[in-house]
Chain A
Amino acid sequence: MRKANVSIRVDADTVQRLVGLGGLDLPAERAKALLPLFSALMASWNRLAPVDPAWAGQPAPEAERKT
């Protein structure tokens, strides 16, 4: 299974820009406060890298659709 190993160092400016891209205007001091949480989240997102895109488009299980 494919796995992208990405190692990115983030700083407060990067966090501020990324949150801003999502639509929230984040002051610089808030971005700095988010760094530890953001690092933990990045590790979590990276762990999802083995998810196979070929899983897309397959039907939901019949048992679930019946409910």
Chain B
Amino acid sequence: MDSNFWNKLSSQNWDEIIDKLYAHSISRINWFGLKSEIKMQGKESKDFAHEAVTLLWEGKRIWDDSKEPDIMNFLKSVINSLIYNMVKSKERDVFTGMDLAEGINDSLFIDLMMEERLIREDFIEKLEGTMLEDEDMWLVFNSLIEGLKPIDIEDKYGMKIEIIRNTQKRLRRHVKKITDL
């Protein structure tokens, strides 16, 4: 490896990056109900984060910082493509997924996965059903899709930040549950 590039990789704040990559992988797997699927392949959510950093360090995925200056975004896009390719390859029984050298940004990944099969109508119905019963969850969900941060929700609706955080946790647990059915 080129020593300048190696130094650039070495000087990244990996303590922070690795946590975010794990959270990213876990979220992607949970949002699209892939938990049992990856289990069958002997994998865990954390493995996608490991695979992404391994591909980067081994030079099998090239990070071009003139195109994407943020290494975190680059690695997230690698994780997205690893997950998407896993889903595609299983579906068609042969590897016909996207080119492994290409990352997939978050917006495209979500669109692709929704297209694939994983956001079913009953998922949305179940989400709606729960929110009909849980006003806090509905308020937090709506505020988040409006682009508000938890602190903004507190300011706008006077809801305590602890309640907002707990509601977010409840929402995450719920999404995980109904996608994994």
Q: Do A and B come from one complex?
A: no
B: residues with CB less than 8 A from A are none
